Structures are given as C-alpha cells and as structure tokens.
C-alpha cells in the first residue's frame, strides 16, 4: 500500500493561539507575577537557601518564557509539512505522518480551538491554530488522513 502524502493548495501560516487564549494567558501570567512579587515582599527570600532562590527564579523564568511564546508562536502548513515555533520548533514532514486527528474541548472552542494531533510512527505531536485559515487547513489534513492507520 502506498500512502499519498498531503499537499496543501497553498502555504498557510498564522499565530498558533487565538486572541482569547492570549488574553487569558495574559491575565493568568499577570496574576502569577503579581502574586510572586507579593510573596517576595512578604517573606525574607534572601534568608532562604540557594535551592529555594533557584526554584523561584526558575519558576519566574518559565512563566516569562511560556508567556512570550504564547504570544509569538506561529504555525505553518506548506508543501514540506507542518511546523510550529515555540521554545523549540516542532515540525513533521508529510512523509512521516501516519495519522491525524483534530481534538477539541467541547463548549470551550472559542478560547481553546481544536488542536491537530499528528501521529508519526511511535510519537504524537500536537499543533495549535489560532486563525480560521489554519483551522480550515487542519480539517483538510485530518480528512486526508482519516482512513490511514
């Protein structure tokens, strides 16, 4: 059996997360940052051990890095495959795709749009789409691989 690899009509690229998701991420990140500042002001952090200071600094760094990439991440679907930028770039070539499904959270798709879950051999990768064009292309990809196992 020869698998035909998906080829999009045109390259589609856009933000990985929609505006509502970015808004919620902003509110949560600001709340956590404010809480972190309040903890630093209420407790004598400088008197704690090096491990606690490192843990708090690492948590603040991860919050900042995650927030930055929620705002900047981009997803691209082109003739080569699917890519999503993040702290590291996730990418899958069409020749590596073994199956595709779209998974969403019922009743919350306005804030968490469906994700594209791509199976490659023994691994799974998820891709996010923050625009209508990306979600339409996700649906086309999922339909193209619907009957592959």
Confidence of residue 137 (pLDDT cuts 50, 70, 90): very high
Residues 80-95 have a mean pLDDT of: 92
What letter does residue 115 receive in the DSSP assignment?
A: E
Angle 61-131-143 (CA atoms, 0-180°, nearest 5)? 115
- Please write the tens of the pLDDT for every residue from 103-112: 988 888 778 8
pLDDT band at 148 (very low <50, low <70, confident <90, very high): low
Rounded Cα distance between 126 and 136, Å, is 16
pTM of the entire predicted model: 0.81
Rounded to a whole number of angstroms, the distance between the first and last alpha carbons of the chain is 12
| Mean pLDDT of the 44-73 span | 92
Distance between CA atoms of residues 140 and 143, nearest Å:
5
**Does 102 have pLDDT greater than 50?**
yes
Over residues 65-78, the mean pLDDT reads: 95
Q: What is the pLDDT of residue 15?
A: 95
Domains annotated on the chain, with CATH: 11-149 (2.30.29.30)
The tens digit of pLDDT for each residue in 6-34 reads 888 899 999 999 999 999 999 999 999 99
Q: Phi-psi category of 143—alpha, beta or left, where left has phi over 0 and alpha has psi -120 to 50? A: alpha
Q: Is the pLDDT of residue 75 over 90?
A: yes
Question: Mean pLDDT for the chain?
Answer: 89
d(CA 122, CA 138): 21
């Amino acid at each position: 059996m020869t698998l035909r690899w998906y080829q999009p009509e045109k390259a589609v690229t856009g933000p990985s997360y929609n505006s509502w998701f970015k808004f919620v991420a902003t509110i949560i990140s600001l709340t956590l940052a404010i809480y972190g500042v309040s903890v630093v002001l209420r407790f004598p952090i400088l008197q704690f051990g090096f491990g606690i200071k490192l843990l708090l600094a690492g948590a603040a760094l991860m919050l900042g890095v995650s927030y930055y990439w929620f705002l900047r991440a981009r997803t691209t679907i082109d003739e080569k495959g699917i890519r999503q930028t993040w702290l590291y770039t996730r990418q899958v070539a069409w020749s590596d795709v073994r199956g595709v499904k779209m998974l969403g959270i019922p009743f919350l798709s306005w804030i968490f749009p469906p994700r594209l879950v791509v199976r490659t051999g023994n691994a799974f990768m998820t891709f996010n789409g923050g625009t209508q064009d990306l979600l339409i292309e996700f649906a086309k990809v999922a339909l193209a691989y619907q009957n592959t196992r």
